[in-house]
């Protein structure tokens, strides 16, 4: 599958981390020339399975193989989670929010003021809004 589709699919996974990343001989695509693929092994790190079984580790594993030549992606998943429940995700900056933050940061507004304006403009509460630190980081990187 294309890289964009793989990114969307990985976003639907429960919280995970990359355990190991390495280069191998590619077998994802059918290109005749020898080239490499990036292999990333992932492990589950969400709190939901830890709460269900304290003494055991969630057996879920995934492997993402990305062709370096054609950017094709193959995702392999092994084993099941201990529980289908998901831990609540922290709110993130959406693309419309990022656009507004860019505009306001270019005008010289401070991140705290931008964050308060986001609450009003997008009808958010403090619980449903992205963290102030993420707004600060985004505004700082846009301005510099």
- Asked if residue 74 and residue 33 are part of one domain, the reply reads yes
Position 67 in a domain: yes
- Give the DSSP letter of residue 131: P
Number of domains in the chain: 2
Helix (H, G, I), strand (E, B) or coil at 17: strand
Position 88 in a domain: no
Position 134 in a domain: yes
Position 48 in a domain: yes
- Strands 16-25 and 61-67 turn out to be unpaired
Position 86 in a domain: no
User: What's the first-to-final CA gap in the chain, in angstroms?
Assistant: 35
Give the CA angle between residues 67, 72, 74 to the nearest 5°.
90
- What is the rounded distance in angstroms from the CA atom of residue 43 to the CA atom of residue 46? 10
Instruction: Supply the range of the domain harboring residue 139.
Output: 95-143
Mean pLDDT, rounded, for 10-28: 77
For residue 126, the domain's CATH number is 1.10.10
Position 125 in a domain: yes
pLDDT at 105: 93
- What is the rounded distance in angstroms from the CA atom of residue 21 to the CA atom of residue 1? 19
- What is the rounded distance in angstroms from the CA atom of residue 61 to the CA atom of residue 59? 6
Helix (H, G, I), strand (E, B) or coil at 116: helix
Token pair, residue 45, equals 């790190």
- Asked if residue 71 and residue 99 are part of one domain, the reply reads no
Q: pTM of the prediction?
A: 0.51
Based on DSSP, count helices (H) and strands (E) in the chain, helices before strands.
5, 4
Tens-place pLDDT, residues 78-137: 877 666 666 667 788 888 999 999 999 999 999 999 999 999 999 999 888 999 999 999
Mean pLDDT, rounded, for 53-61: 75
């Amino acid at each position: 599958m294309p890289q964009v589709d793989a990114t969307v699919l990985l976003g639907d996974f429960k919280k995970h981390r990359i355990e190991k990343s390495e280069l191998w001989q590619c077998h994802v695509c059918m290109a005749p020339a020898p080239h490499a693929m990036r292999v990333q092994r992932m492990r589950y790190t969400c709190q939901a399975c830890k709460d269900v079984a304290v003494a055991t580790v969630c057996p879920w594993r995934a492997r993402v193989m990305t062709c370096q030549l054609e950017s094709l992606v193959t995702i392999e998943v092994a084993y099941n989670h201990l529980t289908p429940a998901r831990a609540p995700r922290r709110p993130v900056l959406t693309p419309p929010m990022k656009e507004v933050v860019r505009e306001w940061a270019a005008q010289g507004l401070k991140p705290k003021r931008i964050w308060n304006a986001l609450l009003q403009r997008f009808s958010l509460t403090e619980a449903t809004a992205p963290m102030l630190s993420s707004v600060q980081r985004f505004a700082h990187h846009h301005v510099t």
